[in-house]
Structure 1
C-alpha cells in the first residue's frame, strides 16, 4: 500500500514524501518585494516537505494585492529568491514558486502612483483589504482590454522564467481563492461577452492560455496549477462550478502539466475525484477534512484519492510536519494573530520536535 511517507516522481523530480506545504501569504517581504533572510530561514525549516509551494508571488507590479508580498519581476527579487532556493535545496527540499496575480483584490494605495487594480470585468469584490493606511474597501477594478489580457499572460510566462533563473524547481499558477485567474473562471466576476467570457469554454480560456504560455516558457513538467472550485473567497460567485472545472481539467491535461492542485472549500469531494479523473496526472489535494492535527488527510494517499496531500496552517506551525505526522504528534497550534506581517514571531520561531 502506498503511504504519504513514500517517495514519488513528480515529472522527473524525485520527492522524498507525499506531504506538501500549501502556499500561504505571510506578508513579510522586504522593501521592493524581495525575500529576506527570514524568508530563507522560514522555507529552509520546512524543507522536509516532499514539496514546498511558496506564498503567492506577484508576476507584475499591478498584480500585488496585499502589503509586503514578494514579486518575481525584478532583478533584485530574482537574486533574493535565489538565496531561498539554494538553502532549501541544500537542506534536501524541492520548492515551486506560486505565481499569483491578485486582480481586483487589493487597493491602488498598494500600487505605484497611477496604477489601478484590474480584472476581467468592472465588478468590485466584497470586503476590505488591510493597508498601511488602515482597512480599505475593495474598489471597482478597471476592465482589462484584450491586448492587456494577452500582456498579462506574457507577464506570467516572464515571471516563470524568472522563477527558474532564481533556482525554483517549478511554478504553480494560482487559479484559486478569488484572485485574477479565478475571477476569469467565475461567472460572478467575469461578465465579458467576448472570447474571454460567457460560456465555461470561454471563461477557462485565460487560465488555459496562461498555463500554456508558462509551460512553453519553462516546460510543462515544471508547471503546476491550483484551483478551488466553488470557493466564495474574495467575493467569488460560482453557483455551478462543475462544468467549468471539468472543462478546465481536461484542457490542462492536454498540456501535460506537472500537477493539478485542488483546494477544497466545503463538501466538494465528489468534484475533486472527478477532477482527478479528468486531469489524469499527478494530483495534489488540500482537503476540506484537514483538522487540528490532520492525520486523517494521510489516508487520502492510501486510498488513491490524491497523490500528495497539502497542509496549510499545520505546516505553518510545525516546520517538521512530516516527522510529526509519522510520530502521531504532538503538534504546535498556529497563532492566527501572527499569520500576516511582523517579525520572526509566528514565522520562524515555531519549535521542531
Structure 2
C-alpha cells in the first residue's frame, strides 16, 4: 500500500515541476510567459515569420496528422475526416492574407511542439493560436458560451455582463479588447513572480479556533519554505516579502461586506521563522477583522468567526547580486 501525503492537502510540487519541464520545451520556439502552474503564453511571431519565409505551408505536400486535428474557428465540417481534410486545405491556402498565413504557421509549430512534449515529457497538452492573448481556451469559451466568433462580436456585451461571466479582471480586459485596447506583449517570464500555498475550508470545515488555524498555517508555511528554498538553490533568487491572506465570516455579522485584511512583513528564511511570522500576521489581521485591536487571540476558543480559506505567499523575488552570499534554509 502506498502512503499518501500527510499534510492534508494536495502536493502540487510534482505537477509544478512537470509544468516547468513542458515550458522548457515550448521555449525552444519563442518567448514564454508563465500564466499559472499549468498555463503559458508563447510568442511564436519570429518562428512563424521564419517558417513563412523558408517553408510556407502552401509549399508542403502534406500536413501532419496532429496539425490536421486543429479546430479552426468558423470552419465547419460534416464529420471528423471531413474536418481534418478541411483543416489541411485551410492551412495550405495560397490565397490567404499574411495574417492568416502566420496563423497557419503557428498551428504547424504548435502541433510540432505538442508532439515533442509528448515524446520527451510523456505529457499531452492543448493549445490555442491567435494574434494576441485573447486566443486559446478563452476563445473557445467565448464562442461556446456567448456565440462570439470575432473580437468585434464582443461589442454587444456590456462590461458588467463580461465581468459576471469571466470575472472582473478578465471581463474588463475583454471589454477593452473589443474596442482595440490591448497593448500586452508576451513578457518572456519563465520563472514565477511569487510563490504561494493555500487551502480552502468550505462550509462545516471552516476553521473556528486559533489552534486549528495555527496548525494549517504551519503546514502551508512548510510548503512555502520548501518552494522558496528550491528557487534559491536552482535559480539563485531571494524572496523578500511574506503575506498572509484569509477569507472569513462572522456568525452574527452586521458587516458582511468587511473582508479579512491581508498582512505582510519582511520574509525571514527558515520554516520556523516563516511559521512564527505568518501566525503573528494572522493574529493581527484577526484582531482588525473582529474590531478588537486590544483583544488577545491566543487560545482554543473563538468569538463567532470562521476561516474559510488560508494562504501564504512569498513575493518581491529578485536575483541574488553577484556578490557571493550564503543562506541556510532550515
TM-score (norm. length: structure 2): 0.26
Q: Which one has a bigger Cα radius of gyration?
A: 2
Instruction: Give the helix-richer structure, 1 or 2.
Output: 2
TM-score (norm. length: structure 1): 0.25
